[in-house]
Structure 1
Amino acid sequence: ALKNEKVVGRIAGIINPRYIEKWQNKYARFGWIDFIDDEEVSKALLETVENWGRENGMEAIHGPLGFTDLDPEGMLIEGFEELGTIATIYNYPYYSQ
């Protein structure tokens, strides 16, 4: 996402046809979301993935996920003072807002 020609956020949207075929769930998934402390930016990122999913026949979005469809990455909302693990991502406290 750009704002005033500056990168202010990112998100990955993925549609996995094999997952849809196997589980009969028309889900677009998202992950690797990152954004500045600006609610307008975070809303725009999520709305973009939602709209993209709908345009491609999906009925819902699922995430944030990691490297596989069965990897519920989640989002850190507490415990910011703790050391992270190799299998988790870090995000800022304002993400939970």
Structure 2
Amino acid sequence: MDKFQSLSANRLLFDLAARLGSLEGYLYAEAKVEKSYLPNWLQNVEREFDCLPAQLQNEIRPDYLEVLKKVQALLRKLYGDSDANTQKITAIISSATK
């Protein structure tokens, strides 16, 4: 069983908010970013959101997308559009808008 699927909606929401907020803050540090952490970080953000109940996803989607777009802008600034992490965040945004 996926570790995220065993968590309550409240715990998932807390973890998602903490993880996404810290990712945004981490990327603002630019020079101190350890790029190797980003793929798993992005994957965990996506999986946590996807494990939330549909009603909760719908309720937080506008704010979730707003922060994702800030992360996307920071990744583009740091690494460009062709970077795998930039492409991943773009895919996450696309998936979250469906």
TM-score class, shorter? 0.3 to 0.5
Would you tell me which structure has more strand in proportion to its own residues? Answer: 1
TM-score between both structures, scaled by the size of structure 2: 0.33
Q: Which one has the largest radius of gyration? A: 1
Give the structure, 1 or 2, with the largest relative contact order (CA under 8 Å, sep 6 or more): 2
**Structure that is richer in helix per residue:** 2
